[in-house]
């Protein structure tokens, strides 16, 4: 995380000391680096330069309006999994004509909303969804552009909760059923077959499973062409991982170079060199290491077998450790020159699962600030109000300037929509 480093003994976001952010905005607070976001998006955009390609940021990773607006201004499209995410993109000034709508449970109202705003494509995940979308589009007098999310039964070699491309996962149409499902889609009067979609999982460190999935998708496109069904775009999904600890994920540019080489070779051999539009759905690899969670140490508890550093952030702020046993680096904002002790970093929530880090060597005193690193993805978007805890503030750092991009909630905000009964 090159945009988060120590300067004069203080951890900074770009050139802004994190203790200054805590003084101004309190804690817990999510802190994002504008430069990191732009650099991470540029890794995809630069690798796609000169090609018919579109990078559709996965909104579920971090859906703050300022982040969506920043990426939209960089030329990003968006991958959506709910009608609410579509409305966020619209509010952020994104181009709905660059939006893909994924997800296994799209409702009639969500389909209608997406059709009204002219999205690029629906990534359809079942035959019943095909028929409902055809019905909704027909009622509106529209033609819905569709691709099928094909499940290639490729093991992404990642955590089972974020693996999506195996035959036992709920996502997509089984590879063996895809040809018949495309035939069904092509026969429906209010659908237009536009592309093919594949997403096998998240936090992939090696691109071999992605390229294996690409080979299976290519095989299917050729089979469809033989039946007169033309595929206009190939959506290979996202999934490239980031460094949380000492992982060495494949560089985005190297992965895309191999992917484009394989696509170019296939098109030259089988389709006379005719190009095909390529879409991507990255999320974590754009925003994950562009953000951290800033928290204050409340108490130090020294026990017989364990020491606990109780902080003001909790599992409601960052769910990943409790949900996935995920590892996040913990760094002191102002390191102390004193002996370290081993602590579990835990929150105030009334659950034993409320932990952010385990067995970390830290030199701490109450009041010290800690940074939970690599928290830009699936942090705030998965946050809750469990224990009636207001969600954290969010800020964006641009050099030495800090912008509040989401105010901290108040307790009154949490029950503003509730009513008493007589």
Q: What residue ranges do the domains of the chain occupy?
A: 4-32+288-414, 103-280
Clarify whether 56 is annotated catalytic.
no
Say if 4-32+288-414 and 103-280 have the same CATH topology.
no
Q: What would the mean pLDDT of 263-271 be, rounded to a whole number?
A: 94
- Whole-angstrom CA distances from 316 to 16, 28, 249 are 26, 11, 28
The rounded percent of the chain whose pLDDT value lies above 90 is 89
Average pLDDT over residues 404-416: 97
| Whether the Cβ atoms of residue 152 and residue 145 lie closer than 8 Å to each other | no
Question: Which contacts (CB < 8 Å, 24+ apart) does range 13-20 have?
Answer: 13/292, 13/397, 14/397, 14/398, 14/399, 14/400, 15/399, 15/400, 16/397, 16/399, 16/400, 16/401, 16/402, 17/333, 18/294, 18/333, 18/369, 18/371, 19/333, 19/334, 19/369, 20/402
What is the average pLDDT value for the chain, to the nearest integer?
94
**pLDDT value, residue 170:** 63
For the residues 15-41, what does the mean pLDDT come to?
Answer: 98
**Whether pLDDT at 203 is above 50:** yes
The one catalytic residue in 48, 56, 99, 350 is 350
Tens-place pLDDT, residues 52-72: 999 999 999 999 999 999 999
Model pLDDT, residue 1: 52
For residue 163, pLDDT beyond 70: no
Rounded Cα distance, 368 and 336, in Å: 9
Q: Is pLDDT at 51 greater than 80 in this prediction?
A: yes
* The pLDDT value given to residue 169: 60
Average pLDDT for 403-422: 96
In the numeric block, the tokens 């499940």 are attached to 151
Predicted local distance difference test score (pLDDT) of residue 202: 84
Fold of the domain built from segment(s) 103-280? TIM Barrel (3.20.20)
How far is residue 305's CA from residue 343's CA, in Å, rounded to a whole number? 10
Helices (H), 33-174: 34-47, 65-73, 83-91, 108-116, 127-140
Given a cut of 60, whether residue 161 has pLDDT beyond it is no
CATH class of the domain at 4-32+288-414 = mainly beta
Concatenating the DSSP letter of every residue in 334-346 gives: S--SS--EEEEEE
Q: Which of 133-142, 149-158, 199-208, 218-227 has the lowest mean pLDDT?
A: 149-158
The lowest-confidence range among 195-209, 230-244, 337-351 is 195-209
Dihedral angle sign, alpha carbons of residues 200, 44, 144, 89: positive
Q: How far apart are alpha carbons 395 and 30 in whole angstroms?
A: 6
Rounded mean pLDDT of 379-385?
98
pLDDT surpassing 90 at residue 201 = no
Q: What pLDDT is attached to residue 164?
A: 45
**What pTM does this model have?**
0.94
DSSP helix, strand, coil percent of the chain (3-state; round to 5):
35, 25, 40
Q: Which residue has the higher pLDDT, 159 or 29?
A: 29
Which pLDDT band, with edges at 50, 70 and 90, does 304 fall under? Answer: confident
Percent of the chain residues past pLDDT 70, beyond the cut: 96
Q: What is the pLDDT of residues 92-106, one digit of tens each?
A: 999 999 999 999 999
Cα–Cα distance measured from residue 235 to residue 56, given in angstroms and rounded to the nearest whole number: 10
């Amino acid at each position: 995380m090159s945009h988060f480093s120590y300067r004069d003994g203080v951890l900074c976001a770009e050139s802004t000391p994190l203790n200054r952010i805590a003084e101004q905005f309190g804690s817990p607070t999510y802190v994002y680096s504008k430069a990191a976001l732009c650099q991470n998006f540029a890794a995809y955009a630069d690798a796609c330069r000169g090609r018919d390609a579109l990078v559709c940021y996965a909104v579920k990773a971090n859906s703050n309006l300022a982040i969506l607006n920043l990426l939209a201004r960089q030329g990003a499209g968006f991958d959506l999994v709910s009608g609410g995410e579509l409305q966020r993109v619209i509010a952020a000034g994104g181009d709905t004509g660059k939006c893909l709508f994924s997800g296994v449970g799209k409702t009639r109202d969500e389909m209608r909303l997406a059709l009204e705003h002219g999205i690029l494509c629906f990534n359809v995940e079942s035959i019943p969804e095909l028929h409902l979308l055809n019905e909704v589009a027909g009622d509106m007098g529209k033609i819905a552009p569709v691709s099928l999310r094909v499940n290639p039964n490729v093991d992404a070699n990642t955590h089972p909760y974020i693996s999506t491309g195996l035959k036992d996962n709920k996502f997509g149409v089984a590879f063996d059923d895809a040809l018949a499902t495309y035939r069904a889609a092509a026969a429906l009067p209010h659908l237009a077959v536009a592309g093919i979609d594949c997403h096998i999982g998240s936090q992939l460190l090696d691109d071999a499973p992605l390229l294996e999935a690409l080979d299976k998708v290519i095989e299917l496109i050729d089979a469809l062409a033989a039946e007169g069904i033309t595929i206009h775009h190939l959506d290979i999904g996202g999934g490239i991982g980031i460094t949380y600890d000492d992982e060495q994920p494949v560089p985005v540019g190297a992965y895309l170079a191999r992917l484009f080489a394989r696509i170019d070779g296939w098109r030259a051999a089988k389709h006379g060199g005719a190009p095909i539009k390529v879409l991507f759905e990255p999320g974590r690899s754009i925003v994950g290491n562009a953000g951290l969670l800033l928290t204050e140490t409340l108490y130090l508890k020294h026990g017989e077998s364990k020491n606990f550093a109780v902080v003001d952030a909790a599992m409601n702020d960052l769910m990943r450790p409790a949900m996935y046993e995920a590892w996040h680096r913990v760094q002191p904002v102002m390191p102390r020159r004193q002996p370290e002790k081993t602590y579990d970093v835990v929150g105030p929530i009334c659950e034993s699962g409320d932990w952010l880090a385990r067995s970390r060597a830290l030199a701490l005193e109450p009041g010290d600030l800690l940074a939970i690193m690599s928290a830009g993805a699936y942090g705030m978007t998965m946050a809750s109000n469990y224990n009636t805890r207001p969600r954290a503030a969010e800020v964006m750092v641009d050099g030495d300037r800090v912008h509040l991009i989401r105010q901290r909630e108040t307790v009154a905000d949490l029950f503003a929509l509730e009513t008493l009964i007589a």
